[in-house]
C-alpha cells in the first residue's frame, strides 16, 4: 500500500502534462467526550487531474490517536487508561467515459489489534442532457482482528457493500437524490474487549460478548438541495432510514444551511437528529439464561442522538482556503447504563454521552 501511495504521489507531483491541476488539503480534528475518550485525527489529501482533466488520481493519509479512560475501560480493562494509534492510507483513480465516470481505489487501515484492506469501485452515468445521474458503488473488505494481551485470539470478518443512487436536477437551483445501500458482513462481528453484564445468583459478572456471525444492513436515503439566489443561502436536507438483520431500526434527519457572506467568506450551520431501536438480542443486564447471543455494545441499545455544528470558511487567496469546524453532539440511552463497579448495581445510572469536536482545515490548489 505504501508503494502504491508513493507511485500516486509521483504521478501527482510530476503530472501527466503541464496543465495538470493539483489540489491538497490538510485537516486536524480533536474529539473529546464525557466518557473521558480523546481522539486527535490529522489527515492529508492530495489529488491531481491530467490528460486534459479527463483523469484524476488522489491519495489520502490519516491517523487517529486515541486515549480513553471510560467506565467500560475502568471496569473491564487491566489498566485504567488505554491508548491506540490507527493509520489509514487510500489511493483512488477516476477516469471520464462518454456520459459518465469510472473509478477504482484501495484503502488500508491498521492499528495494534485490527487491520483492514478494502477494494472499492464505482461509476456514474448521465441521462437526459445531464439532468439525471445514476451512480453505483461496490466495495469488498477483509478485516483481521486480534486482542492485545491475548496472543491466541485471532478472528476475521469480511464485508461487501453495494450502493446505487439517482440524482435529478429539478431546476437550476434545486436537486433531489435517492440512495440505497446494502452491506453484508460475515465473520467475527464483535469486540474481544467488550463484556456483557451477567446477573447470576445476585452477583454480577462479565460475560464475553457473542454476536451473530452474519449481519445484513439496508439503508435508504433522500437528499434535497436548494439554493436561494437572492438570499445567497443554500439548504441541504437529508433523511435516512436503516434496518438490519439484528433488528436495529434507525432514522436520521440532517439539515445544513450555508450562508455566503461574500465571495471569500461563508458559514455553514448543521443540525442532526438520530433515533434508534435496539437489536433483538441486546440487554443491559443478562440473567442466568442469557440465550445464544449477548452483547456489551451500547450502540446496539435504544437511544437518541442529536448534534449541532458551525463551519466558517475563508478564501485567503484564489487558491488557498482556511476552514474551522465546531460541533457538539450528545447521546441519551434508554436501556444502557454505565458499567460502574461490576460487583454491584448501586452506582449504575443511565448512560449519557456528550462530545465536542474541533476541526481545522487548509486547502491549497497549485
> Which residue range is the domain that position 26 belongs to?
1-107
Residue 353 included in any domain:
no
Strands 203-208 and 195-200: antiparallel
Domain count, the chain: 1
Q: What is the pLDDT of residues 22-47, one digit of tens each?
A: 999 999 999 998 878 899 999 999 99
Q: What pLDDT does residue 16 have?
A: 47
The whole-chain average pLDDT of the chain stands at 90
**Structural domain includes residue 27:** yes
Closest CA to 255 of 242, 241, 274: 274
CB atoms within 10 A of CB 159: 19
User: Rounded mean pLDDT of 1-5?
Assistant: 56
Q: Look at residue 80 and tell me whether its pLDDT is greater than 60.
A: no
Q: Is residue 289 part of a domain?
A: no
Q: Please say whether the beta carbons of 179 and 165 come within 8 A.
A: yes
Q: Would 83 be classed as within a structural domain?
A: yes
Confidence of residue 113 (pLDDT cuts 50, 70, 90): very high
Strands 203-208 and 249-260: unpaired
Question: What SS3 class is residue 100?
Answer: strand
Angle ∠(306,308,309) on CA atoms, nearest 5: 145
More confident residue, 247 or 83: 247
**Pair 292, 300: CB distance under 8 Å:** no
Q: Is 56 among the domain residues? A: yes
Q: Note whether 336 and 351 are within 8 A (CB).
A: yes
pLDDT digits (tens, 9 = 90+) for 162-180: 999 999 999 999 999 999 9
Question: Using CB atoms within 10 A of its CB, is residue 335 exposed (0-12), middle (13-18) or buried (19+)?
Answer: middle
Q: Render pLDDT for 203-217 as a digit per residue (tens, 0 to 9).
A: 888 888 999 999 999
Give the integer Cα–Cα distance in Å for 323 and 25.
11
Asked if 293 contacts 279 with a C-beta cutoff of 8 angstroms, the reply is no
User: ∠ CA 308-310-311 to the nearest 5 degrees?
Assistant: 140
**Residue 341 in this model has a pLDDT that exceeds 70:** no
Q: What are the residues whose beta carbons fall under 8 Å from the beta carbon of 202, sequence distance 6 or more?
A: none
User: 300: which DSSP letter?
Assistant: G
Closest CA to 70 of 299, 304, 338, 331: 338
Residue 179 lies in a domain: no
pLDDT of residue 204: 83
Give a yes or no: residue 28 inside a domain.
yes
pLDDT at 78: 45
Cell of 267: 458559514
Of 205, 201, 203, 206, residue with least CA distance to 191: 206
Query: Is residue 12 over pLDDT 90?
Result: no
In a domain, 5, yes or no: yes
What is the pTM for the complete model shown?
0.89
State the Cα–Cα distance between residues 260 and 268, nearest whole angstrom.
Answer: 9
Amino acid at each position: 500500500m505504501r508503494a502504491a501511495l508513493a507511485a500516486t504521489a509521483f504521478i501527482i507531483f510530476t503530472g501527466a502534462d503541464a496543465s495538470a491541476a493539483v489540489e491538497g488539503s490538510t485537516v486536524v480534528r480533536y474529539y473529546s467526550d464525557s466518557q473521558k475518550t480523546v481522539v486527535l485525527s490529522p489527515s492529508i489529501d492530495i489529488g491531481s487531474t491530467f490528460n486534459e482533466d479527463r483523469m484524476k488520481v488522489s491519495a489520502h493519509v490519516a491517523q487517529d490517536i486515541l486515549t480513553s479512560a471510560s467506565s467500560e475501560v475502568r471496569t473491564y480493562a487491566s489498566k485504567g487508561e488505554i491508548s491506540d494509534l490507527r493509520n489509514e492510507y487510500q489511493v483512488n483513480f477516476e477516469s471520464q467515459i462518454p456520459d459518465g465516470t469510472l473509478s477504482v481505489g484501495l484503502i488500508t487501515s491498521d492499528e495494534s489489534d485490527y487491520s483492514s484492506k478494502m477494494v472499492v469501485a464505482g461509476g456514474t452515468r448521465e441521462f437526459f442532457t445531464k439532468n439525471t445521474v445514476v451512480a453505483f458503488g461496490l466495495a469488498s473488505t477483509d478485516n483481521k482482528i486480534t486482542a492485545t494481551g491475548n496472543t491466541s485470539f485471532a478472528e476475521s470478518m469480511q464485508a461487501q457493500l453495494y450502493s446505487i443512487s439517482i440524482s435529478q436536477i429539478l431546476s437550476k437551483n434545486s436537486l433531489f437524490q435517492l440512495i440505497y445501500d446494502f452491506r453484508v458482513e460475515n465473520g467475527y462481528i464483535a469486540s474481544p474487549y467488550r463484556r456483557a453484564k451477567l446477573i447470576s445468583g445476585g452477583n454480577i459478572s462479565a460475560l464475553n460478548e457473542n454476536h451473530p456471525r452474519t449481519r445484513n444492513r439496508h439503508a435508504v436515503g433522500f437528499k434535497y438541495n436548494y439554493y436561494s439566489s437572492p438570499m445567497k443561502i443554500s439548504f441541504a436536507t437529508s433523511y435516512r432510514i436503516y434496518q438490519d438483520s439484528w433488528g436495529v431500526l434507525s432514522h436520521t434527519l440532517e439539515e445544513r444551511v450555508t450562508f455566503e457572506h461574500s465571495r471569500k467568506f461563508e458559514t455553514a450551520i448543521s443540525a442532526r437528529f438520530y433515533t434508534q431501536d435496539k437489536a433483538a438480542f441486546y440487554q443491559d443486564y443478562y440473567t442466568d439464561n442469557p440465550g445464544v447471543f449477548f452483547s456489551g455494545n451500547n450502540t446496539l441499545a435504544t437511544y437518541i442522538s442529536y448534534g449541532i455544528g458551525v463551519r466558517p470558511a475563508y478564501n485567503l487567496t484564489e487558491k488557498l482556503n482556511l476552514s474551522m469546524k465546531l460541533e457538539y453532539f450528545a447521546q441519551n440511552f434508554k436501556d444502557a447504563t454505565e458499567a460502574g463497579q461490576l460487583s454491584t448495581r448501586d452506582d449504575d445510572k443511565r448512560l449519557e454521552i456528550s462530545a465536542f469536536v474541533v476541526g481545522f482545515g487548509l486547502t491549497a490548489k497549485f
